[in-house]
Amino acid sequence: MVIPPRLPPSRESFGQRGRCVRGCHSVGWCSGPLDGGRDAGRPAGQGAGRGRGVWLGSGVRVGPGGVGVERDGMRVGVIGVGRIGGFHARALSGIAAVERVVVADVDRGRAEEFARAAGVAAVGLDEVFAAVDAVVIAAPTSAHVELLRAAADAKLPILCEKPIALDPIVAREAVAYVEARGAGLQVGFQRRFDPMYVAARAAVEAGALGTLTRVHAVSVDRRPPPAAFVPTSGGIYRDTHIHDFDIVPWVTGVPIVEVTAIGANRGAAVFREHDDVDVSAVLFRLADGTLGTAHAGRRHEPGYDVRLELAGTAGTHACGGVTEGDFLTRFGDAYRAELAAFVAMAAGRIAGPCSGADALAAQAVAEACVVSRREGRTVRVG
């Protein structure tokens, strides 16, 4: 099968089987030209990006007629088959354009056991980059940079889970490394693919709220993560609030420029033991003067509580609330749409819908929060 270049999303081409991703497409996240990052350094005249060069990784052909996968579908690797990687690997198996899903994990036995249960293939970490056309990095955050560099060296399109790295300087260097090698990078901010946020963004874009004055975001988990995850998470601002810090600018079109962050320990001792909090509140200001608050928490037994409220001079848009299950159930469809977009990006059909620069911007807000809470003061972002 040869995939023609830059078609709009369709369930036949790269959407999840039986599910169309047009809901996201309708607000324009994938309607732009191919971004400069993935085209950087490519020979002139190659690719489908409006005359610019496009590199697509092993097994993916770039020619005068456009871009195509030189085999019967795309091979996608998933590195790390824990909570999110396991979900991603199963979801990728349901995407029509994906012919083969290959998993790898530092725990080889875990990868093989998962592969048997999920009906995918398992390979060693040293083999995975040569065995696929695109790769999803879902290992713990501490392993992201090494894996990103290896994937970029192999010139593979990459979907990397958030955050890229806990240290913002290390994250910036990793993004620069990937861009310098021309590998396409998408970062895992799945809320951009969730209909609730898509509708909120559409309301703002349509001017339905008038001049925006107030934003309120809530992200409260049903149950705390495994205790072992807590010291690796970077804390509640880098791990949980980072989704708010990505989605609020995406919905409003305006960056967050100032934060005041506070937190409290009201639950499991493991958070306090790692200088973290399990309840937090962030007061923020957008560049246009809009004021906002974001609340996060680690435990709310009735369910996962995710909300967004926008208010302006002409109206209010409130959405979300408590849902049963956890982030994998609440955002299951969003993850699937995110993966479908990644496959489309890897095939050269669309621009990356969530770039390394986007991820660094959200991370800068989280870093400002860490400083704010530690020093008890308002902090400018950046």
Ligand X SMILES: NC(=O)c1ccc[n+]([C@@H]2O[C@H](COP(=O)([O-])OP(=O)(O)OC[C@H]3O[C@@H](n4cnc5c(N)ncnc54)[C@H](O)[C@@H]3O)[C@@H](O)[C@H]2O)c1
Judged by DSSP in three states, 263 sits in strand
Q: Which of residues 199-238 bind ligand X (CB under 6 A)?
A: 229
* Closer CB to ligand X, 172 or 214, in the complex: 172
Pick one of 34, 56, 81, 362: the residue that binds ligand X (CB under 6 A): 81
d(CA 376, CA 207) in angstroms, rounded, equals 36
The answer to whether residue 141 forms part of the interface with ligand X (CB under 6 A) is yes
CA 151 from centroid of its chain's CA atoms: 17
The answer to whether residue 53 forms part of the interface with ligand X (CB under 6 A) is no
Pick one of 73, 82, 168, 332: the residue that binds ligand X (CB under 6 A): 82
Judged by DSSP in three states, 118 sits in helix
* Closer CB to ligand X, 33 or 82, in the complex: 82
Pick one of 85, 157, 292, 312: the residue that binds ligand X (CB under 6 A): 85
- Supply the minimum distance, in Å, between the C-beta of residue 362 and ligand X: 12
Pick one of 134, 138, 220, 337: the residue that binds ligand X (CB under 6 A): 138
Between the alpha carbon of residue 266 and those of residues 15, 239, 323, 372, the distances in Å are 42, 18, 22, 20
Q: Strand runs (DSSP E) across 138-211, as ranges?
A: 158-160, 185-187
- Supply the minimum distance, in Å, between the C-beta of residue 205 and ligand X: 24
Quick count: other Cβ atoms within 10 Å of Cβ 256?
Answer: 27
* Closer CB to ligand X, 212 or 366, in the complex: 366
The answer to whether residue 358 forms part of the interface with ligand X (CB under 6 A) is no
Q: Which of residues 114-133 bind ligand X (CB under 6 A)?
A: 125
Residue nearest to ligand X as judged by C-beta position: 82
Q: Which of residues 306-345 bind ligand X (CB under 6 A)?
A: 327
Give the long-range contacts of residues 25-34, CB within 8 A, separation 24 or more: 26/198, 26/202, 27/198, 27/201, 27/202, 27/205, 29/192, 29/193, 29/341, 29/353, 30/341, 30/344, 30/350, 30/351, 30/353, 32/351, 33/351, 34/348, 34/350, 34/351
* Closer CB to ligand X, 188 or 348, in the complex: 188
Report residue 291 as tokens.
């004021």
Applying CB under 6 A, the residues found at the interface with ligand X are 79-85, 105-107, 110, 125, 138-141, 143, 161-162, 188, 190, 229, 327
